[in-house]
Structure 1
Amino acid sequence: MNPLDRWRLVLGRYADRRLPGAAGGSSGYARMDRALDYLYGREYKGRGLRQELGPGSLDPSQLTLVTWLNEVRELFPQDTVEVIEKHALDRYGMTELVTDPRTLERLEPNQQLLRTLLTLRGHLKGEVLEVARRIVRKVVEELKRKLESEIRQTLTGRLNRFRHSPMAIAQNFDAAGTVRRNLKHYDAERGKLVIDQVRFFERNTRRLPWDIILCVDQSGSMADSVIHSAVMAGILAGLPAFRVKIVVFDTNVVDLTGHSHDPVEMLMRVQLGGGTDIAQAVRYCAQLVENPHRTVMVLITDFCEGASPGELVRAVKQLAEARVRLIGLASLDGQSDPVYDRQMAERLAACGMEIAALTPQRLAQWLVKVIS
């Protein structure tokens, strides 16, 4: 793309007089220009610019939302499409993208779309709700596939280098043991070692009867952490050594423990937004504690308490005094780059709660350290 065409696409329709013959009039970029103007032309309206009226023309038919989506996905690379869809939803409030089933089916399933669906959960009805559920399942399964192997390996044990296993698992391959075992099959004439028997290390399994309570803030700013918490709960619930309880809260508390094995069902019951009463949620979780010495409570929140800070400090202090292991996460997602109330977090740290921002893999490593 030459610089003139690039500038024409950046500047939009009002560049026609200054850049004649560039992208707007070139058959190669006219469709791109029209697709971008369908979205970013709203910027002019938002700034109070009056729509210009002109003579009739032989321009193509006006884009509709569905045809615009098709155009965008056909004309631009995938990473650009995701940025455009994000701007449409977040900057220009085009919520019809996720409230019309035909349109929703054309969107690329990704975490950004999942976050938007969770935000608008209360507005999804009928057919669009079923489409949304399929999207949620697809994104969650992809996220779980990326996380599950490493988290399970971290939590279920390290290699036992003194015993071998009949299970042929690639990560457990014992290269040196395999060579030693097959030295008698060395073919001197060909200078090659013939492998008759492959050795694999056995994996130690930790049988730790720990209860894991995930207490998750579902206020709007915590969307990514809510998603990762649901996936993490599903992975932990699949490990027999753990009992998982998951609670989400805003100014109300919802116990989703009955769905801890199913991240999709958990997320479909989340409603992002509203106020934040962390103390109430912590007090509820305290009622779920059966054996304090074998309980870990993970509080996932931005620590922006809407109720009495003193009540929250008191509730956390009581759990710490009961010897419940406590960690407060300002973020549980792939970035670990949170914005949170540092003063409140410091007060809770003084009560005995560890404070961090972690990826799911790092949380798994922390759990291993705590329960070892």
Structure 2
Amino acid sequence: MAGAGGSVGVRDGDERLRRWRMVLGGGEGEGTGCALSGRDAQMDAALGALYGGGEGTSRKGARAAGLGGSAPSVARWLGDIRTYFPSSVVQVMQRDAIERLGLAALLLEPEMLEAVEPDVHLVGTLLSLNKAMPETTKETARAVVRKVVEQLEQKLAARTRATLTGALDRSARISRPRHHDIDWNRTIRANLKNYLPEYRTVVPERLIGYGRAAQSVKKEVILCIDQSGSMAASVVYASVFGAVLASMRSIATRLVVFDTAVVDLTDQLDDPVDVLFGTQLGGGTDINRALAYCQSKITRPADTVVVLISDLYEGGIRNEMLKRVAAMKAAGVEFVTLLALSDEGAPAYDHEHAAALAALGAPAFACTPDLFPEVMAAALEKRPLPVP
């Protein structure tokens, strides 16, 4: 028994050393004395190619960089990491490779795009390269973008429609309906406490019903999206949500993107891939000009929600921007400011502009895709926003 226990202890110790060796990456100072072989050595080499500091793997087993700059070597590396690591880790490593090793230009080659793991950040990179992309690569790039968009739609669409449909129904409910507009099921449920046993009836204190226009367009939503380079992930998510909102008959949706110019992409909302390739990531920012355009398109202020998605680094006229927001709010528009629409957490943003908007009753905050339906539902119902 003692021998068996000692053997187990040795195996546990070896496993701990192996794991520390994988974390530390070898080298003279790592101190484990553990040599890697087989799959472990191949995983370590894939990590070393990205996070090391030299070329290849040294004789002492130290992790070292070895991607070089050629498409074949990078394509092999992409295949390796997809073999050894789960998809979530692969996406992080791809992002690091693009940022640390300057591999963005290689994504202009179709064989490279076929080797990558598609995700939101890769889509952002492709969109930033859109103008430089040769014709031979564009179809492959569109296929990559479409795969990501379809995954996001599958994940987000059903919940968004259900949440917003409920909000629209509640906002359309009226408390003094005409007789033929009374929703009797809801009215009875709301008045069960007023049941009179002796008469075997419910006496309704409050009638609930729907207006005659319940099936027509109830609300108008304008998504105003900053397409500066830092907003890439937000542009992707906003385009998908825009397509989902546009598919709802009771919401008239407009999608506007801007840098120093303003582009209305509403007529492309039936295909978010077309929307994304209609954007041009990078460049300056003129929020005031974008809001001026959005303001000109508002016909029913009390039934309109404007969603500005921007880090608020304004290159236009600051005071005019704030005056426009104040004017829209005064007219009855619900104004929402999202510093980001992504899973990346709080971004860098202009704190002074955020504070000024908050003072106008339009608090600025970062929003995850999962929270966005709740934010929109609150805006449609004119109730406080679920600020995280």
- TM class by smaller structure: 0.7 to 0.9
**What's the TM-score, normalizing by structure 2?**
0.72
Tell whether 2:15 aligns with 1:2: yes
Q: How does 1:156-195 map to 2 (within 5 A)?
A: 156-157=165-166, 162=185
Q: Pick closer, same or farther for the CA change 1:283–1:19 going to 2, 3 Å.
A: same
Q: What residue is the counterpart of 1:31 in the other structure?
A: 42
Classify 1:319/1:17 alpha carbon distance in 2 versus 1 (closer, same or farther; 3 Å).
closer
1:92-171 equivalences under 5 Å are 92-157=101-166, 162=185
Deviations 1:125-167 (A, max 9, x none): 212221111111111111111111111112223698928xxxx
**How far has the Cα of 1:92 moved from its partner?**
2.1
Note the C-alpha offset of 1:328: 1.4
Structure 1's unaligned 5+ residue stretches are 46-50, 54-61, 164-202
Is the contact between residue 212 and residue 244 of structure 1 (CA under 8 Å) also seen in structure 2?
yes
The counterpart of 1:277, out of the listed 283, 286, 303, is 286
Shift of 1:265: 0.7
Distance 1:354 1:69, change over 3 A: closer
Q: Contact 1:333 / 1:360 at 8 angstroms: preserved in 2?
A: no
Superposed displacement of residue 44, structure 1: 4.5
Matching residue within 241, 252, 256 for 1:247 = 256
C-alpha RMSD of the superposition? 3.2
Pair 1:337-2:350 in alignment = no
SS where residue 340 of structure 2 aligns?
A: strand
Instruction: Report the alpha carbon displacement of residue 295 of structure 1 after superposing the two structures with TM.
Output: 2.1
Give distance in 2, aligned partners of 1:28 and 1:322: 65
Deviation at 1:291, TM superposition (A): 2.5
Distance 1:126 1:306, change over 3 A: same
Partner of 1:48: none
**1:76 is matched with which residue?**
85
Provide the aligned length of Structure 1 versus Structure 2: 317
Relative distance call for 1:241 and 1:8 in structure 2 (3 A) is same
List per-residue Cα deviations over 1:241-283 (Å, max 9, x = no partner).
1211111111111111111222111011112111111111111
8 Å CA contact 2:227–2:257 kept in 1: the answer is: yes
Aligned CA distance change for structure 1 residues 12 and 248 (closer, same or farther; 3 Å): same
What displacement does 1:96 show? 4.1
Q: Tell me the percent identity.
A: 38
Cα distance between partner residues in 1 of 2:363 and 2:30: 61
Instruction: Find the counterpart in structure 2 of residue 178 from structure 1.
Output: none
- Which of the numbers 348, 368, 380 marks the counterpart of 1:368? 380
How far apart are residue 99 of structure 1 and its match? 1.7
